[in-house]
Amino acid sequence: MEKPLILVTNDDGITAPGLRALIRTMKKIGEVVVVAPDSPQSGMGHAITVDSTLFSKKVVVDHKEGAPSEYSCSGTPADCVKLALRVILDRTPDICVSGINHGSNSSINVIYSGTMSAAIEAGIEGIPAIGFSLCDYSWNADFEPCLGAVKKIVSEALTNGMPKGTVLNVNIPKIEKPKGIKICRQARGNWKEEFDKRRSPSGKDYYWLTGEFELLDKGEDTDEWALSQGYISVVPTQFDLTAHHAIPLINNWNLHEQ
Amino acid sequence: MEKPLILVTNDDGITAPGLRALIRTMKKIGEVVVVAPDSPQSGMGHAITVDSTLFSKKVVVDHKEGAPSEYSCSGTPADCVKLALRVILDRTPDICVSGINHGSNSSINVIYSGTMSAAIEAGIEGIPAIGFSLCDYSWNADFEPCLGAVKKIVSEALTNGMPKGTVLNVNIPKIEKPKGIKICRQARGNWKEEFDKRRSPSGKDYYWLTGEFELLDKGEDTDEWALSQGYISVVPTQFDLTAHHAIPLINNWNLHEQ
């Protein structure tokens, strides 16, 4: 049987240790092609490059024997997936994995996440896709403890297929031995930003975005709860954003006469 | 009674005719503050500016009497909303409106849309929010025919409030007299990209992203269907991306033993 073709990408850039760990793990399962940003793209959400040029080239990051095909791209994570599917790959990948992100993409962070935007882009194309994030922002984070679970989740996705219109958002707690895996919903929460205001030497005001995440959800079925209890959280995530339950409510507004 | 405070933003930039038309219309309803990107931000999805400086300044775009308070921002549409809420405004706005975008944000385009990311950012903060888009990419598009409907939808949102966890994605057909307003679901569809490959004078390969939208949905309850029939489409849009129906399916995977 042909080995599954695995497209690997991320948003921290092609040299990120989290990507390298994901590549090593995926090579145990299938044939790996890497198309990843040439520079960090955190917080890019589902941005794509329109009205601007997109550079891409084949690169060698890892000189060991059996190193996978790797391409860097000047664009966003979503651009990487589009370029991989339309230009670089000669067959449709069996799965697309993104990450392992250096830092959490749980709760509302899914909205801002370049890691998840790559997975969602593949999902829109009907390709099973998973974003992985470790809740450790350090560049030197230890990815080893989570690689067994990453391999298991990808293998199960290849075996079972993905429910139509969904991708997985997997977050991994920063602990030596996660207790297991919980299938969760996205916790309600938001960011309480603080803008650090400064003045440039030439007198222009500018800001640095800082802030703290605020959890607004006490449920014990959420990703935040699972992570707080030492579990890996898996949230099936969709790109049909319709709030179906709200349709009858809006239909009651006074919008229909001319 | 205090006039409602209306935060106006967009992704085409602070000088875009679609924004100016929205400002004129909103001034008939309430007190308007504009915080918008200083340059076009189309396709930015829900990008935010992290690890980079964000410049903002008060500007005068419209010198007429009664011109609203306006601020330009070097960041993305989501940045504009964050900066407005945390730094610029001294009270919480009653509603945030984004647009009017020069071009459609129906179907899967909601995912890539800077216009909608601004509305979603406000929605996350619990503020009623609406993104407006006219299905005409021209800079000189005629916004006049749709302004009555824009005013009506904003007024109804102020009167009725917004269903929790939802914002509205409003798309307007490019016709002289829309037939009415339909509350819809997001049509399934995607982009069939083609990358136009070129070589730079120094010998580097680069690409321009082009492509065509492909509708994959024959439903007569979708935004694409409504627009094709001459109606304004209103899709209630949510930022809880959980595919709740998929949770039991993923729970059947073999993930739970160690």
A158 touches chain B (CB under 8 A): no
Residue B201 lies in a domain: no
Q: Among partner residues A42, A195, A205, which is closest to B50 by beta-carbon distance?
A: A42
Cβ neighbours of B92 (radius 10 Å): 12
Strand order in the sheet with A205-215: A189-199, A205-215, B54-59, B69-73, B31-37, B5-9, B95-102, B129-134, B166-172, B232-238, B181-183
Residue A180 lies in a domain: yes
Burial string for B11-43 (b: 16+ CB within 10 Å, else e) reads bbbbebbbbbbbbebbbebbbbbbbbbbebbbb
**Predicted local distance difference test score (pLDDT) of residue A65:** 61
Nearest CA in chain A to B254: A156
- Cα atoms in the Cβ-side hemisphere of radius 13 Å centred on B12: 25
**B187-235 confidence digits (pLDDT tens):** 999 998 888 889 988 888 888 888 889 999 999 999 999 999 999 999 9
**Predicted local distance difference test score (pLDDT) of residue B210:** 85
Q: Among partner residues A152, A166, A208, which is closest to B53 by beta-carbon distance?
A: A208
Mean pLDDT to the nearest integer, B150-161: 97
Contact in structure between A40 and A73 (CB atoms under 8 Å): no
Q: Specify the pairing of strand B69-73 against strand B54-59.
A: antiparallel
Residue B77 lies in a domain: yes
Nearest CA in chain B to A88: B195
Interface touch A250/B163, C-beta < 8 Å = yes
Where in the sequence is the domain holding A107, given as residue range(s)?
A: 5-186+218-251
Phi/psi at A196 (nearest 5 deg)?
Answer: -85, 105
Residue A28 lies in a domain: yes
B51 touches chain A (CB under 8 A): yes
Token output for B152: 């009506």
Tell me which H or E stretch contains A22.
helix A17-26
Residue A237 lies in a domain: yes
Q: Among partner residues B110, B156, B157, which is closest to A241 by beta-carbon distance?
A: B110
Q: Which residue has the higher pLDDT, A257 or B185?
A: B185
- What lies within 8 Å, CB to CB, of B49 at 6+ separation is A43, A209, B74, B75, B76, B79
Interface touch B111/A125, C-beta < 8 Å = no
Residue A199 lies in a domain: no
Interface touch B250/A168, C-beta < 8 Å = yes
What Rg do the C-alpha atoms of chain A give, in angstroms?
19
**A70-114 confidence digits (pLDDT tens):** 999 999 999 999 999 999 999 999 999 999 999 999 999 999 999
- How would you write the pLDDT of chain A (258 residues) with one tens digit per residue? 689 999 999 999 999 999 999 999 999 999 999 999 998 877 777 778 777 788 888 988 877 766 779 999 999 999 999 999 999 999 999 999 999 999 999 999 999 999 999 999 999 999 999 999 999 999 999 999 999 999 999 999 999 999 999 999 999 999 999 999 999 999 999 998 888 889 988 888 888 888 889 999 999 999 999 999 999 999 999 999 999 999 999 999 999 765
**B114-145 confidence digits (pLDDT tens):** 999 999 999 999 999 999 999 999 999 999 99
Task: Count structural domains, chain B.
Answer: 1
Mean pLDDT to the nearest integer, B57-82: 86
Token output for A86: 């339309």
Average pLDDT of the residues of chain B: 92
**Predicted local distance difference test score (pLDDT) of residue A257:** 63
B208 touches chain A (CB under 8 A): yes
What is the least distance, in Å, from the CA of B168 to any CA of chain A? 9
A160 touches chain B (CB under 8 A): yes
Residue B196 lies in a domain: no
What CATH number did the domain enclosing A42 receive? Answer: 3.40.1210.10
**B28-69 confidence digits (pLDDT tens):** 999 999 999 998 877 777 778 777 788 888 988 877 766 779
- DSSP letter at B175? S
Residue A142 annotated in ligand binding: no
Residue A235 lies in a domain: yes
Nearest to A66 by CA among A4, A23, A9: A23
**Predicted local distance difference test score (pLDDT) of residue B214:** 92
Cα–Cα dist A81/B231, whole Å: 34
Which B residues, 170 through 189, put their C-beta within 8 Å of a C-beta on chain A?
180-181, 183-186, 188
Cβ neighbours of A182 (radius 10 Å): 22
**A121-148 confidence digits (pLDDT tens):** 999 999 999 999 999 999 999 999 999 9
Average pLDDT of the residues of chain A: 92
A78 touches chain B (CB under 8 A): yes
Token output for A203: 């007198």
Q: Where do we find the tokens 């297991």? A: A180
